[in-house]
């Protein structure tokens, strides 16, 4: 039977050119972090359609993490800025829909920041654990 | 006259404003052609038939039922299910039936919070506590019953199987006429199709030629803040027009009236969640990269749910607000 603390499911959309490499480096370095994050690699954080985020929640994610290159570092020029603009508006919309602040998060993590990746994953897992399970299509 | 029976048509309304019924009336004289070609067997807004008349018809005997309005009450679901059983085709008519529509924005609340406000807190009560409607009340003649009011507003296809959709708030008379003709001729697209355009509204908008190749906006303007130039793309004038993410088929009626598209035809076939796509599109054209500038620009969208899900909240991925306090 279920025992121990709630294990949140977090879907992370990670950019191929930065965070994915950082996650890989974290693995190579045998950094230990919570196994609650499922990575989905996209070519750019600007590729992440807000529909993906909503679909993740609809299908049972408790939190969604969006990761891209630092400002001015986007492989394609300005995909990360698009991601940031979408994030600002999406967060506002999700707030209206009753989402707590910590369920969705945007982080810039470069290819060399394996330690930051580990820290962000740990931190977000803890945060979402405190928020508890997300019930898709709640209400009657 | 031969004894050949005419196809039977029913119209019904659920949670709606009556505008969709108006669209039928707006057929004008063409409505006479419709009446010649079909038998209208049920149309509560205009004709005196009873529910028992529908109940007594054999299953599948109505050729097509046009149902408008969202599903908000138990009675509406019962009627939708009854008409489904009696009809060969069911067409969700208008935005509310198609995607939940404006009544669907009530999914930001629930029954308790809606009743609390309207029957106890609304200023129009002038301090008098309204008392809430109850489902059953005994009177000397017997027990009177009211339909149940639900927490969540639904689109028609969330309670019954729907064959086709005619979008719009309201649908244009032309779309209705086209749908009736297609049905009568048996010339129908695959089940589940939306009987309107297949491409985004911009493709049929006269102002499309004045839309800049690369659209970037520093400031969003609301319609009352700008004198609209009717010869220029509204987006180029800084007004948020949802034409680029909205299904065409309305001949850009609103834009021709100097009003931006607000998305009543819903998304094109490729899009699952209209609001997310609209939000994504707006984010792409805001011409700022610094977070504080972006936040400031987005202040012009104080109510993203109302802007991007104006007609489709029940049909969105999230369907309703999580927990209403």
pLDDT confidence bin for B32, thresholds 50/70/90: confident
CATH code of the domain covering residue A16: 3.40.50.960
Q: Select from B238, B223, B250 the least CA-distant residue to B286.
A: B238
**Residue that is written with structure tokens 């045998």 in the block:** A30
Q: Does the model's pTM come out above 0.90?
A: yes
CB A67 within 8 A of CB A87: no
pLDDT of A139:
44
Name the band, by pLDDT with cuts 50, 70 and 90, for residue A140: very low
Nearest CA in chain B to A93: B304
The 8 Å CB, 24+ separation contacts for B230-235 are B230/B256, B230/B258, B231/B207, B232/B207, B233/B205, B233/B207, B233/B208, B234/B207, B234/B260, B235/B211, B235/B285
Locate the chain B residue with the closest alpha carbon to A133.
B322
CATH number for B8-102+152-185 (one of 3.40.50.700, 3.90.950.10, 3.20.20.100, 3.90.1720.10): it is 3.40.50.700
Categorise residue A98: left if φ over 0, alpha if ψ from -120 to 50, beta otherwise.
left
Q: What DSSP element (H or E) covers B254?
A: helix B253-256
Within 8 A of B304 by CB-CB distance, chain A residues are 89, 92-93, 96
User: What's the pLDDT at B129?
Assistant: 80
Q: How many A/B residue pairs have CB atoms within 8 Å?
A: 104
Q: Is residue A139 part of a domain?
A: no
Task: Indicate the DSSP class of residue B6.
Answer: P
d(CA A66, CA A105): 6
ipTM for this model:
0.92
Alpha carbon separation from B166 to B14, B57, B99, B173, B178 (Å, rounded): 15, 25, 11, 11, 10
Collect all residues with Cβ–Cβ distance below 8 Å to B313 and sequence separation of at least 6: B100, B104, B105, B107, B108, B153, B275, B305, B319, B320
B96–chain A nearest CA distance, Å:
19
Instruction: Show residues of chain A in contact with B286, CB under 8 Å.
Output: 85
B3 band by pLDDT with thresholds 50, 70 and 90: low
Task: Tell me where in chain B the CATH 3.40.50.700 domain(s) lie.
Answer: 8-102+152-185
Q: Summarize pLDDT for A68-124 with one digit per residue, the tens.
A: 999 999 999 999 999 999 999 999 999 999 999 999 999 999 999 999 999 999 999
pLDDT band at A138 (very low <50, low <70, confident <90, very high): low
pLDDT value of residue B28: 85
- Indicate yes or no: CB of A139 within 8 angstroms of CB of B322: yes
The predicted structure's pLDDT at residue B324: 74
Name the residue facing A89 among B282, B288, B317 (closest C-beta): B282
Q: Cβ separation of B305 and A97 shorter than 8 Å?
A: yes
Taking CA atoms, what residue in A is nearest to B282?
A86
What domain count does chain A have?
Answer: 1
Per 3-state DSSP, chain B is made up of helix, strand and coil in percentages (nearest 5) of: 40, 15, 45
- Mean pLDDT along residues B107-132: 89
pLDDT tens-digit map of A9-28: 999 999 999 999 999 999 99
At residue A1, does pLDDT exceed 90? no
CA distance B275 to chain A (A): 9
Answer whether B304 sits within 8 Å of A84, measured CB to CB.
Answer: no
In this structure, of A35-39, B37-41, B99-103, B271-275, the range with the lowest mean pLDDT score is B37-41
CB B20, CB B94: distance < 8 Å:
yes
Look up the domain containing A29 and give its range.
10-130
Establish if A19 belongs to a structural domain: yes
């Amino acid at each position: 039977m279920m025992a121990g603390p709630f294990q949140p499911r977090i879907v992370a959309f990670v950019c191929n050119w930065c965070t994915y490499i950082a996650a890989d480096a974290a693995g190579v370095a045998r950094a230990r972090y919570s196994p609650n994050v499922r990575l989905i690699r996209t070519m750019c954080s600007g590729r992440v359609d807000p529909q993906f985020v909503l679909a993740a929640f609809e299908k049972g994610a408790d939190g969604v993490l969006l990761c891209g290159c630092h400002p001015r570092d986007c492989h394609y020029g300005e995909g990360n800025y698009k991601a940031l603009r979408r994030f600002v508006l999406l967060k506002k919309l999700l707030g209206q829909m009753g989402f707590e602040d910590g369920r969705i998060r945007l982080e810039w993590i470069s290819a060399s920041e394996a330690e930051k990746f580990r820290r962000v994953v740990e931190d977000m897992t803890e945060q979402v654990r405190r928020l508890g399970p997300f019930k898709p299509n709640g209400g009657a | 006259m031969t004894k050949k029976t005419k196809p039977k048509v029913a119209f019904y309304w659920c949670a709606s404003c009556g505008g969709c019924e108006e669209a039928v009336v707006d057929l004008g004289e063409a409505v006479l052609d419709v009446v010649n070609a079909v038998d209208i067997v049920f149309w509560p807004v205009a004709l005196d038939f009873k529910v028992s008349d529908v109940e007594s018809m054999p299953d599948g005997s109505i050729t097509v039922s046009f149902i408008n309005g969202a599903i908000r009450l138990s009675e509406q679901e019962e009627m939708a299910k009854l008409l489904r059983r009696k009809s060969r085709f069911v067409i969700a008519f208008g935005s509310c039936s198609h995607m939940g529509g404006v009544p669907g924005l009530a999914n930001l609340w629930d029954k308790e919070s809606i009743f609390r406000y309207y029957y106890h807190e609304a200023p129009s009560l002038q301090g008098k506590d309204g008392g809430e409607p109850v489902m059953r009340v005994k009177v000397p003649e017997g027990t009177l019953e009211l339909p149940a009011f639900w927490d969540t507003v639904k689109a028609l296809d969330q309670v019954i199987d729907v064959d086709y959709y005619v979008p719009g708030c309201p649908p244009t008379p032309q779309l209705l006429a086209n749908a009736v003709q297609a049905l009568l001729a048996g010339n129908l697209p695959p089940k589940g199709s939306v009987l309107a355009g297949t491409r985004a509204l911009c493709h049929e908008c006269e102002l499309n030629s004045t839309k800049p190749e690369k659209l970037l906006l520093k400031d969003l303007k609301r319609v009352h803040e700008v004198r609209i130039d009717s010869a220029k793309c509204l987006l180029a004038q800084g007004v948020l027009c949802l034409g680029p993410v909205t299904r065409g088929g309305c001949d850009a009626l609103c834009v021709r009236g100097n009003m931006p598209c607000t998305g009543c035809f819903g998304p094109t076939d490729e899009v699952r969640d209209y609001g997310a796509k609209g939000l994504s599109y707006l984010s792409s054209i805001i011409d700022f990269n610094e977070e504080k500038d972006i936040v400031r620009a987005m202040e012009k969208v104080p109510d993203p749910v109302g802007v991007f899900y104006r007609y489709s909240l029940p049909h969105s991925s999230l369907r309703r607000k999580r927990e209403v306090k």
